[in-house]
């Protein structure tokens, strides 16, 4: 069913009025206090929101692994899944039961495992009190199934009677089927809510989960699997005095006025680190090689992770994959830096440690307990003769700068919008009615991205390779195929993106979710 509601306002200013708003760039101090939070002043753009409960001691309970969703039926070429979006309760911090919004009752949502060439169809039923939209982040997906911000699933009960909450989009009531062709490389993807103006609080409440794609190339490698292939979904959250998730929404019902209260417009940073939905957990491992699929699903927080052996030296980190799958060959790191929405597929080797060893995952961009993420406890001795492959992806394709047909400039910055603070792309706040680029299907383009502060920039549909930052080449964590780039303050980066797959309307945006909700998003049309 489609619906066309009145054009809704933002803090008393209509979207059309916002497009004619002022263009004065705000000083950093207007965005939040401080805007750049963290020890070095360079860790994250945002402001820490403090919890009202006593924080637990780290490493007090075991890590959990998100459940794997089983298909409700399968055919020769497709697997069909069903998910109910519902209010649930979860113990995110020991001793406290928090209300959460979930896919299928778990925080994070269940993992969907799929194989290249087999279509995936996911039926979502909305039993939440607000509209939702589902985006498969990193998916090569037709536009009608990409989770465009106004293509909503309304609750079953009459939504219009409870205030405005959607724009003129492809709107259904109750359920929607998302179809994913799965014609793409093996990769660690994830799915999350993508409703216009309210993505940040919806993800904060729990609407995120993993979608893992595999293919023959990945399967041919002798990589750790089973219990030694561990997904780690890292988020930061804050809790009120009753142990409930605390978020500074202007409208706690998430139905009318979007945005957050001052001074959190730059991004909301929690003071509790959750991994797979548990605060500062521990996980038992053997003296073996492990594969870790690390997702930063935080709204705004960046992480710099090290594997610190208690009483010893740090373990090396072997990167085997980025946002969009396997690298051509492994890359060795002593730490990983992840912005919101980035994924890193890594190998960590516990074989030289003795039983009883403890390895803390440390976040060097955190303060206090946010410097800690989780701990691995070596509890079993075993023999593991696996070696790290010298070559990971013989079929890896490197894009050529000479093939680019267009160079586009995209500037991401803080800007006043009417009399409100906002975040804009090329001076324009997001509107479903405005398109910033018309791109021929199959073309390759260079995009030059410029930031005022931290902006993890994500392109829907199109995957890209990083050409360089500033006057240099790619950064240490820019290798491989990407869909999100960690754009740093006062930095210009150049990416080479290929727009193949499907024609239609898509968006690109900052994945600091407070920035996205406050209009740092734009349309492009593949024609």
Same domain, 61 and 205: yes
d(CA 161, CA 11): 20
| Buried b or exposed e, range 181-192, using 16+ CB within 10 angstroms | bbebbbbbbbbb
H/E stretch holding 486 reads strand 484-487
**Domain end marker among 219, 250, 274:** 219
Q: Tokens 């390779």 identify what position?
A: 465
The answer to whether residues 61 and 184 belong to one domain is: yes
Contact 273, 303 (CB under 8 A): no
pLDDT at 52 over 70: yes
What pLDDT does 448 receive?
98
pLDDT tens digits, one per residue of 242-264? 999 999 999 999 999 999 999 99
28: part of which helix (H) or strand (E)?
Answer: helix 28-31
Q: Which domain holds residue 151?
A: 54-219
Q: How confident is the model at residue 232 (pLDDT cuts 50, 70, 90)?
A: very high
With CA atoms as reference, report the closest residue to 412 among 47, 27, 25: 25
- Token readout for 242 is 């009753």
In a domain, 490, yes or no: yes
pLDDT at 421: 80
Write down the mean pLDDT value for the chain: 91
- Are residue 121 and residue 83 in the same domain, yes or no? yes
* Token pair in block for residue 375: 């701990």
SS3 (DSSP) at 307: strand
Mean pLDDT of 418-433: 91
Question: Does 201 share its domain with 259?
Answer: no
Read off the pLDDT of each residue in 186-199 and give the average, rounded to a whole number.
98
Q: Residue 388: inside a domain, yes or no?
A: no
Q: Which of 182, 200, 219 is the last residue of a domain?
A: 219
Question: What are the tens digits of pLDDT across the range 468-482?
Answer: 999 999 999 999 999
Say if residues 521 and 273 touch (Cβ distance below 8 Å). Answer: no
- Output the six-digit token pair for 142: 């037709």
**DSSP annotation of 249:** B
The pLDDT tens digits for 80-107 are 999 999 999 999 999 999 999 999 999 9
User: Domain containing 17 — which CATH number?
Assistant: 2.60.40.420
Q: What domain count does the chain have?
A: 3
Average confidence (pLDDT) over 170-199: 97
Which pLDDT belongs to residue 16? 30
The candidate with the shortest Cα–Cα distance to 234, out of 176, 298, 330, is 298
In a domain? residue 126: yes
- State mean pLDDT over 285-311: 98
Co-location of 243 and 376 in the same domain: yes
Same domain for 246 and 376? yes
**What DSSP letter does each residue of 321-384 carry, written as one string?**
EETTEEEEEEEEES-EEE-TT-EEEEEEE-TTSPTT-EEEEEETT--GGGGEEEEEEEEE----
Quote the DSSP letter at residue 162: G
For the chain, percent of residues with pLDDT exceeding 90: 87
pLDDT tens per residue, range 124-162: 999 999 999 999 999 999 999 999 999 999 998 766 644
The percent of residues above 70 in pLDDT, for the chain, comes to 90
- State which of 173, 197, 219 marks the end of a domain: 219
260/179 same-domain check: no
CA end-to-end span of the chain: 26
- For position 167, what pLDDT does the model report? 56
Quick one: pLDDT band at residue 417, thresholds 50, 70, 90? confident
pLDDT digits (tens, 9 = 90+) for 24-40: 233 333 333 334 554 33
Instruction: Give the global pTM.
Output: 0.92
Helix, strand, or coil (residue 155): coil
More confident residue, 464 or 9: 464
**Are both 274 and 128 inside the same structural domain?**
no
CB 384 within 8 A of CB 351: yes
Do residues 205 and 233 both lie within one domain? no
Q: Quote the Cα angle for 278-106-154, to 5°.
A: 130
Please report which confidence band the pLDDT of residue 42 belongs to, taking 50, 70 and 90 as the band edges.
Answer: low
State yes or no: pLDDT of 298 exceeds 90.
Answer: yes
| 426 and 349 fall within a common domain | no
Among candidates 174, 147, 79, which has minimal Cα distance to 117?
Answer: 79
Q: Do 67 and 211 reside in the same domain of the chain?
A: yes
């Amino acid at each position: 069913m489609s619906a066309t509601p009145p054009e809704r306002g933002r803090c008393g200013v209509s979207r059309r009025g916002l497009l004619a708003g002022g263009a004065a760039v705000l000083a950093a101090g207007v965005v939040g206090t401080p805007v750049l939070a963290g020890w070095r002043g360079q860790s994250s753009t945002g402001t820490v929101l403090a919890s009202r409960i006593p924080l637990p001691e780290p490493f007090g309970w075991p890590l959990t692994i998100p459940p794997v969703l089983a298909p409700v039926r399968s055919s020769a070429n497709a697997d069909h899944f069903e998910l109910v979006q519902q209010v649930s309760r979860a113990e995110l911090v020991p001793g406290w039961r928090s209300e959460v919004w979930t896919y299928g009752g778990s925080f994070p949502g269940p993992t969907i495992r799929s194989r290249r060439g087999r279509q995936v169809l996911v039926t979502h039923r909305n039993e939440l009190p607000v509209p939702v939209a589902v985006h498969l982040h990193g998916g090569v997906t037709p536009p009608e199934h990409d989770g465009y911000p106004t293509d909503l699933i309304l609750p079953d009960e009459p939504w219009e009677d409870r205030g405005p909450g959607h724009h003129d989009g492809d709107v259904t009531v109750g359920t929607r089927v998302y179809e994913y062709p799965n014609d793409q490389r093996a990769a660690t993807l994830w799915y999350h809510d993508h409703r216009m103006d309210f993505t940040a609080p919806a993800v904060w409440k729990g609407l995120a989960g993993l979608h893992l794609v595999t293919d023959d190339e990945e399967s041919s490698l002798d990589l750790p699997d089973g219990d030694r292939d561990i997904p780690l979904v890292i988020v930061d959250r804050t809790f009120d005095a009753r142990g409930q998730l605390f978020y500074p929404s202007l409208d706690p019902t998430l139905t009318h006025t979007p945005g957050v209260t001052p001074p959190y417009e730059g991004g909301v940073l929690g003071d509790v680190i959750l991994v797979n939905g548990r605060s500062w957990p521990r996980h038992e491992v053997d003296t073996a090689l492990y594969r870790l699929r690390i997702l930063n699903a935080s709204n705004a927080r960046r992480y710099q992770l090290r594997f610190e052996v208690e009483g010893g030296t740090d373990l090396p980190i072997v990167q085997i994959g980025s946002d969009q799958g396997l690298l051509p060959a492994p890359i060795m790191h002593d730490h990983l830096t992840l912005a919101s929405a980035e994924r890193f597929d890594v190998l960590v080797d516990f074989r030289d440690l003795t039983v009883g060893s403890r390895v803390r995952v440390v976040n060097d961009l955190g303060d206090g307990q946010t410097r800690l993420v989780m701990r691995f406890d070596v509890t079993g001795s075993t023999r593991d003769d696996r070696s790290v492959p010298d070559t990971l992806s013989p079929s890896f394709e490197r894009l050529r700068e000479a093939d680019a047909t267009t160079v586009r400039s995209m500037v991401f910055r803080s800007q006043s919008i009417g009399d409100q603070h906002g975040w804009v792309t090329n001076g324009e706040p997001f509107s479903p009615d405005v398109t910033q680029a018309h791109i021929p299907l199959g073309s390759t383009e260079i995009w030059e991205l410029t930031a005022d502060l931290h902006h993890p920039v994500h392109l829907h549909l199109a995957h890209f390779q990083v050409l360089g930052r500033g006057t240099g080449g790619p950064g240490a964590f820019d290798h491989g195929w990407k869909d999100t780039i960690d754009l740093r303050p006062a930095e210009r980066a150049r990416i080479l993106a290929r727009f193949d797959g499907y024609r239609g309307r898509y968006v690109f945006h900052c994945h600091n979710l407070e920035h996205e909700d406050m209009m740092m998003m734009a349309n492009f049309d593949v024609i």
